[in-house]
Amino acid sequence: MTADDVREYEAALAERAGELPELAGARTVAAYVSVGSEPGTRALLDALRARGVRVLLPVLLPDNDLDWGEYAGPDSLAPVRHGGRMTLLEPSGVRLGADAVTTADVVLLPGLAVDARGMRLGRGGGSYDRVLARLERTGARAALVVLLYDTEVVERVPAQAHDRPVHAVVTPSGVRRFRAPRT
């Protein structure tokens, strides 16, 4: 994809996500800052913040679990290199703890693909599997939404017993729902 394509897809993704009723009524959204070839999230983060939504962003811990911090705009992000792996943009402010995600009305999840059952294929580090387990364990009722390119919605991905389906996937061309979020 060209740089223009990436910007166009990011804008379309933000627009489609903005149409979700779950996001329209959200007070707190747990999200992430896209890296590499992931669909861009910055336009959506800024749109949510401009609407007064509290946006939580992950901080990767050494054991691959996630702590959380609040997004206060682009200047609140700092690049953090994690060992020999990737550099992530993480919130530079106060750490809120791993359980902060349980306060979110919506959790935006990264992924490599989502299948027709709503099963998400992640990168294999287990960070978001822990988030989903934490949400389930605490009885949190967040809507689970994955942001992807259209070509990443596929017929089937491998799933394990601990994997949980998501409620919806948002792509630049639209929204696909898998099950209604719990209320």
117: alpha, beta or left, given left = phi > 0 and alpha = psi -120 to 50?
alpha
Is 122 annotated in a binding site? The answer is yes
Is 70 annotated in a binding site? The answer is no
Residue 123: count other Cβ atoms within 10 Å of its Cβ. Answer: 12
Is 51 annotated in a binding site? The answer is no
Is 96 annotated in a binding site? The answer is no
Is 126 annotated in a binding site? The answer is yes
Is 32 annotated in a binding site? The answer is no
Is 128 annotated in a binding site? The answer is yes
Is 123 annotated in a binding site? The answer is yes
Is 73 annotated in a binding site? The answer is no
Is 111 annotated in a binding site? The answer is no
Q: Residue by residue, what is the 3-state secondary structure of 123-178? A: CCCCHHHHHHHHHHHHCCCCEEEEECCHHHEECCCCCCCCCCCCCEEEECCEEEEC
Is 120 annotated in a binding site? The answer is yes
Extract the annotated binding site for ATP: 120-128
Extract the annotated binding site for substrate: 33, 38
Extract the annotated binding site: 33, 38, 120-128
